[in-house]
Every structure is written in C-alpha cells, then in structure tokens.
Structure 1
Amino acid sequence: MIELPESVTLARQLTGAIRGKRVERAVAGKSPHRFAFFAEEPEHYDMLLRGKIAGETRSYGGYVEIELENMRLSFNDGVNLRFFAPGQPEPKKHQLYLVFDDGSALVGSVQMYGALTAFRAGTNDSPYYLAAREKVSPLEEGFDVDYFQALLGNVDRKKSSAKAFLATEQRIPGLGNGVLQDILWTARIHPKKKVGDFTGREIAELYMAVKNVLRDMAEKGGRDTEKDLYGKPGGYRTILSKNNTAMVCPECGGEIRKEAYLGGSIYYCPICQKI
C-alpha cells in the first residue's frame, strides 16, 4: 500500500523515469476490477492523456500525482505502479497502461482497491485528495510541536486511541496502518492506549517518532514490505510487520503480538509498549 514514504519514493522515481516524455497511448480499465476507481469513464483516458508531456511527479500524503500539461494523473494507496523499459511486453492484466514516445510504459494495477484518477488541474474535489494537498506533511518544517499539539487538541482524548489518533480521519495524510507500527514502537506507546493517558514525555516521544521514522523510511526508499517503481522492496527494514517472521522484539527479546484492531492488524511488544 502506498503510504507517505512510498509516495515520496515513487514521485522521485517517476520524475526521473518519465519527465519530458509524451504519452502515445493510454489504456484504462482493460482488466475489470470492482474496486478500481476512475475519475472519468476508462475509455476516455486515451483521449484525455494522449499527446500530453509528463512534467514533475509530486507526493501528497499517500497520493502520487503526475503532471501532464493541463491534466493530472493521481494514484492513491491501493495502486501498484511499475515502470516498463522499451521493449518489455505489455502485461496481460492491468487497470492502466500508459505508453510513452520512447516505447517505455507505466503500468498501474489494483489488488484490493485503489483510484487511478485523471482530471484537469484544479478540478479534483475529493475530500481525501484535498486533505492530502492542504495539510502539513511530517516531512515539512511546518509540522512542528505546535502543529502536533493542535492535532492532539482536536481529538476526544478519552475515546481516541494512539492508532485512532495517528491513522484515522486524515489527520496526517499518508500515515496509515503500515507505517504506524514502527512509529508507536519507537515511541514505546501501545496502539490501544488512550490519548488522554499519554504522559508529557510520551507526547514528545511520539512527535519525534512521527518525524524521524517517516523521514528514515522515505530516505531509504520506502518500507521493505512494499515495492518501488521497479519492483524492488524499499530499503527501510520494518521492525513490526509481516517481515519480522521471528515475531521477536529487537529491544527486549519479548514476543511480538499481532491483533485485529480498528479495521486492520496491529503489532506491538507488550513489554516495551504497555497500555
């Protein structure tokens, strides 16, 4: 899934791979998928994108957005993006196939759900997209202590858990259930712990973990649980994830626990992250 570290990585790679290239052909919706979403009818994508020259690709939260002159092409968390060099055959299944004038191609595929949105610049009114565009990223200087405290002040401290605070309601776009695990482990906070029970030190540790862990993930090309534009796993080795097959905490040697919580799995060390 594309979360903030992956969107930053994909945006950087796409800018290097396709900037300056002209779209020769666009095929959308070739493989029917119930949960692949398009802004226009898929059959209109070729008309909308053909002949457009790719500019900068940018990252907004969990969104990756390609500039195509007056058009934009954005992808959100459930879309897998791969770059195909000239001469590589078109895959049998895909939700988007964008061919450039040098014969290279960009392939977008959806496994669970995802949006592949082509729209004219300035016309995307999706509240999730707008939140990703407008809110301050943890990778920016504006995401300071005061900003973080303001986020904390806008939640029900008695009802909201650490996971609910960080990974719901688009408070921090691009911070989802995947990156959440290592952030909370680094801050030594249990995912179910109520915000109202945070100590001052825990708030400070959580703020620093959000900033530092996400920066580390982004600088290393994303998490090792996800793949980049060329199909390679990210360079950040996750601490709490499916990749920790030993299920052992690297700090205390205790057993890592996995549970279902708030629509997804959580991993935590019951010794280092007490509720």
Structure 2
Amino acid sequence: MIEAPEALCLAEQLNRTIKGKRVTDVIVKNTPHRFTFFYGDTDEYEKRLSGKILKRACAHGGMVEIDAEEVRLVYTDGVNLRYYGPEEKLPAKHQLLVGFEDQSCLVASVRMYGGIWCFPTGDFEGSLKPYYESAKYKPQVMTDAFDISYFMGLFKGKEQEKKSIKAFLATEQMIPGLGNGVLQDILYHARIHPRSKVSSLSFGQKERLFDAIKLVLREMYCLGGRNTETDLFGKPGGYIPHLSKATLGSRCLSCGEMILKENYMGGSIYYCPGCQKYE
C-alpha cells in the first residue's frame, strides 16, 4: 500500500511523463478483481476519458489524482501504477489501461484492494466521498501546513485519549497517507511502543513523535519510497525500513535488543523492546 511519500513521488513522475498526453484508448476491467472499487458505471470511463489531455497530477495522502480536463482520475493507496513506453510489452492483467497517441500507456493494477475512480470534476458522490475529501482537504503531512500546532490539535478529545498510538496514527484517516507501512519506523524513531495509549504520552513524547513523522517521511521521499514498493517505471525505492518482516529477529542497531513481532489490531506490529518500552 503506497504511503504519502510514495504518492508524492508518483505524482511528480506522472507530471514529467504523461502530462500533456492525449488519451486514445481506455480499457476497464480487463482482469476481474473482487476488491477493485470503481466509481459509478465503468462503462462511462471510456467516454469520459477518450480524447482528453492529461494535465497536472497531485498527491492527496496516499492517493494520486490526475486532472484530465473536465474529468478527474483518482488512484487510491492499493493501486500499482506503471508507465509503459511505445515499445514495451504490456502486462496481461490490469484493471485500467489508459493509452496515448504516442502508443505509450498508463496501467493500473490492484493488489489486495484499491480504488480507481473516474468522475466529472466536482461531481464525486456516494459513500466514498468522505474518504476522498479527507485525503484531499486535510493538511498534507509532508507540507508546512502540517505543523506542530496542527499535530497537537489532533490529540484533543476523550475518544482520542482512549486509543493506542497505532490506532490514533494509522486508522480513520487521522493522517491521510500515514499507514502501517511507515508507522513502524516512525514509532521506532520516537521511542514509543505501538500499544502505548495516547493518554499516557507526555508533551515531550508527542513532540518527539511529530519530529519522527517528519524525519521518516522526508527520508522516504528523498529515497524514492520503500524498497518494497515500485515507482512509475517499476523501480524499487531506496528506503530500507528499520522495522519490518525483513528485520524480524535481528538486533536493534541502537540498543542491541532483538526486533520482535506481535499480532495487533488485525495486523502486525514490529518493535524493539529496549528502545520502545511498553508501560
């Protein structure tokens, strides 16, 4: 699942690669996928996109949105985007292929689950609207708008205090584009256990958490995303997570304790028991 830094990298690559291209071909649902969520009638996608010139792409949290004149094309965080040049062999399986005049293509395929939404500008409705608008209009975590004052404000309310820090950070679109894929390293740098209750955190710990969010996401962006994800051209990123299944059982470089894994909240958490004490 792509996170905010990876979505930003993809948007920048799209602007350098497909901006200004005219759409000539649209293939929807080439490969059936149960957990691909489209917007409205997919038979309308070809009519909406054909002949359109792609304009600016931008990232909203873990989403990538492309302006195609009067139409918006949105790919959510579970979608793998690949650009193929005129002479490259196209994959056999995909959920949306957009072809251009020069015979190049933008191909979207869904892994576990993901959304591919094509809709007239300003006309996004339905149950997914709050999810889309939250990602689009909340302060973006990698911008100056997401500052320490805004971050501290997220902790207000008794409902937030009851949550674990993992639940607080990575659920309910609290911080769009910050999910389990980056959460582990953020908490490791902040020296906070994933199970720690929000109510137990001191002001200093919250400040340290804010700094860790900015540090990890910036480093991930500068290195082109994680090494477990690929960019628009299929190249893996250069960021190697400190905590992941690949480092499970290895020694923490800071304190020497062994990296552990637990099942928690329907997923996995990785942590260092020496650096991230649970009290």
Give me the TM-score of the superposition, normalised by structure 1. Answer: 0.96
Partner residue in 1 for 2:28: 28
Distance 1:120 1:257, change over 3 A: same
Q: Percent identity?
A: 50
* 2:143 aligned with 1:140: yes
Q: Corresponding residue for 1:196?
A: 199
Structure 2 partner of 1:230:
233
Matched residues in 2 for 1:192 and 1:159: separation? 11
For 2:71 and 2:32, the matched residues in 1 are separated by 24
* Shift, 1:201, TM fit: 1.8
Q: What value does the CA root-mean-square deviation take over the aligned residues?
A: 1.3
Structure 1 counterpart SS, 2:66: strand
Q: Would the aligned equivalents of 1:225 and 1:238 in 2 still touch at CA under 8 Å?
A: no
* Aligned-pair CA distance for 1:29: 0.6
Alpha-carbon displacement from aligned partner over 1:146-190 (angstroms, at most 9, x marks no partner): 111110113535421110111111110000011101100000000
Distance 1:139 1:67, change over 3 A: same
2:180 paired residue number: 177
- Conserved? CA contact 1:223–1:237, under 8 Å: yes
Query: How far is the alpha carbon of 1:246 from its aligned partner?
Result: 5.3
Please, which moves more after superposition, 240-249 or 164-173? 240-249
Q: CA deviation at 1:243?
A: 3.3
Q: Which moved more, 1:219-228 or 1:179-188?
A: 219-228
Which residue number corresponds to residue 95 of structure 2? 95
Q: Deviations over 1:198-233 (max 9, x none)?
A: 122211100111122112111221111211111111
1:89-126, Cα deviation, whole Å (9 max, x unpaired): 33211101111111110110112111110011112241
**Equivalent residue for 1:167?**
170
Which one of the candidate residues 101, 111, 132 is aligned to 1:129?
A: 132
**What does residue 58 of structure 1 align with?**
58
- Contact 2:64–2:75 (Cα < 8 Å) also in 1: yes
Task: Look up the match of 1:243.
Answer: 246
Q: Which residue of 2 aligns with 1:149?
A: 152
5+ residue gaps, structure 2, are none
Instruction: Give the CA deviation at 1:244.
Output: 2.4
DSSP 3-state at the match of 2:189: helix
The one-letter code matched in structure 2 to 1:236 is: Y
CA distance in structure 2 between the aligned counterparts of 1:256 and 1:3, rounded to whole angstroms: 23
- Assess if the C-alpha contact under 8 Å between 1:155 and 1:165 holds in 2: no
Name the counterpart of 1:106: 106
Residue 215 in 1 paired to residue 218 in 2?
yes
Residues 50-103 of structure 1, C-alpha deviations (whole Å, 9 max, x = no match): 111011110000110011111111011111111101122332111011111111
User: Which amino acid is the alignment partner of residue 225 of structure 2?
Assistant: G
Q: Which amino acid aligns with 1:156?
A: E
> Would the aligned equivalents of 1:39 and 1:118 in 2 still touch at CA under 8 Å?
yes
Structure 2 CA distance for aligned equivalents of residues 6 and 165 of structure 1: 21
User: Post-superposition shift, 1:40?
Assistant: 2.9
1:261 positional shift: 1.1
Secondary structure of 1:153's aligned partner = coil
Q: Which moved more, 1:179-188 or 1:44-53?
A: 44-53
Measure the CA separation in 2 of the matches of 1:46 and 1:214.
36
Q: What residue in structure 2 maps to residue 72 of structure 1?
A: 72
Look up the SS of the partner of 1:152 in the other structure.
coil
Match of 1:18 in 2: 18
SS state of the match for residue 149, structure 2?
helix
Instruction: Determine helix, strand or coil for the equivalent of 1:98.
Output: strand
Partner SS for 2:252: coil
- 1:247 deviation in Å? 3.1
Structure 2 CA distance for aligned equivalents of residues 247 and 28 of structure 1: 44
1:1-26 CA distances to partner (integer Å, 9 max, x unpaired)?
11101100110111111001001101
Shift of 1:239: 0.8
* CA distance in 1: counterparts of 2:92 and 2:164, whole angstroms: 43
Q: Which moved further from structure 2: 195-204 or 148-157?
A: 148-157
Q: How many residues align?
A: 275
